[in-house]
Amino acid sequence: EAEISGYFAELMDLTDKYARLKVRQNADTPRDAAIGRRFGAQGIGLCRTEHMFFEGGKIQSMREMILAKDESGRRKALSKLLPLQRNDFIEIFKVMDGFPVTIRLLDPPLHEFVPHDEAGQREMADVMNLSYEEVRDRVNSLIEANPMLGLRGCRLGNLYPEITEMQTRAILEAALEVKKKGNEVIPEIMVPLTSIVSEFDAQKEVIDRTAKTVFEEKGESIDYKVGTMIEVPRAALTAFKIARSAEFFSFGTNDLTQMTFGYSRDDVAKFLPMYLDKGILKEDPFVSLDQIGVGQLIEIAVKRGREVRPDLKCGICGEHGGEPSSVKFCHKVGLDYVSCSPYRVPIARLAAAQAAIEEE
């Protein structure tokens, strides 16, 4: 039962009478997606695909893909991942019938997937017909001093476009299949961590080329959008370039906060509580949107983006998306939606309505 009902549904409908902002959910599994629907989510604003590769028999092929010596080795592993990834999306599209689903291309540091212990590396060497030393050296070559600033986001898809091809194919084949069963599927493909427009353009080229091939093979097509995360300050500032080719922006305020303040989002627990204790910081910027810093970058990006593309759809999908004060800020700067954890959807919808009412 994915639909909302009763008094709660009436209350959520009432928010729609006033709210200008839509409220979507961040969900990576059909189960989460169904929870979000019951809480009144009006779409998925962020489906992170990286977690999918740790489960459902995918981790082994993922390791083969990463450890492969060349493109043909990577393609072989990706062909094993394709049907599994397609199934992931089929289930999510079914649950989200009639609502937009933004799927983000793979965005983790690669070393997270590979075994770092000798036994695990020996096992991979056996499976792949490589020497233990070859596997060990490849794993070591993936270790970075600052993985959050390293080979992640669209840098991956740009170095290994075959990953983007596989994911695009999985998304669109799933979309066509679910559409055939009578559901309305609204797929949006999102490029992570763009900082230079050429990174986005190269990914969009791969996505559009793959889509054309899939539609020709299947003899049918479906509308899809291609957009980008804005989570690097440079991307926000150069929005007027990126919006020429991106159809939507989604602000990743977790990374945008990290990169604007220069605070490692993985290490904040080590120093931020002391900063808060001493009163140097009044609020945790990873919880409350820093409206005059990070928020200003959002405002600039929306304005500059819409100067070249007036109908540019803009949303936010970082943790801040479910905070009532951030929701109000998003309303004020003209975003189209916020996306948050399924459990925070009701509060975000109420905050969206309240922001609109307060404005009257």
Out of 252, 322, 342, 346, the residue judged to bind Mg ion by CB under 5 A: 252
Q: Which is nearer to Mg ion, 164 or 257 (CB)?
A: 257
d(Cα 79, Cα 163) in Å, to the nearest integer?
Answer: 10
Should residue 315 be labelled a site residue for Mg ion when binding is judged by CB under 5 A? no
Q: Should residue 231 be labelled a site residue for ligand PEP when binding is judged by CB under 6 A?
A: yes
Of the candidates 6, 181, 208, which has an alpha carbon nearest to the alpha carbon of residue 94?
181
In the list 191, 232, 242, 317, the residue contacting ligand PEP (rule: CB under 6 A) is: 317
Quote the CA–CA distance of 32 and 290 in Å, as a whole number.
28
Contact 81, 26 (CB under 8 A): no
Q: Is residue 318 a contact point for ligand PEP (CB under 6 A)?
A: yes
Is residue 253 near ligand PEP by the rule CB under 6 A?
yes
48, interface contact from ligand PEP, Mg ion, none, CB < 5-8 Å by kind:
ligand PEP
Which whole-number Å values give the CA distances from 84 to 136, 233, 245, in the listed order? 28, 35, 30
Residue nearest to ligand PEP (CB): 252
Query: How many residues touch Mg ion (CB under 5 A)?
Result: 3
Helix (H) or strand (E) holding 240: helix 239-242
Indicate whether 344 belongs to the interface with ligand PEP (CB under 6 A): no
> Where in 215-234 is the site for Mg ion (CB under 5 A)?
231
Binding track, positions 31-60, relative to ligand PEP; x by CB under 6 A: ---------------x-x------------
Between 252 and 295, name the residue whose CB sits nearer to Mg ion: 252
Which residues, 6+ apart, have CB-to-CB distance to 264 below 8 Å?
148, 258
* Integer Cα distance of 231 and 252 in angstroms: 5
Q: Kindly state whether residue 227 participates in binding ligand PEP, applying the rule CB under 6 A.
A: no
Query: Contact, 89 vs 28, CB < 8 A?
Result: no
Smallest CA-to-CA distance from 125 within 117, 141, 136, 113 is with: 136
Q: Which residues of this chain interact with ligand PEP, rule CB under 6 A?
A: 46, 48, 231, 252-255, 317-318
Q: Which residues of this chain interact with Mg ion, rule CB under 5 A?
A: 231, 252, 255
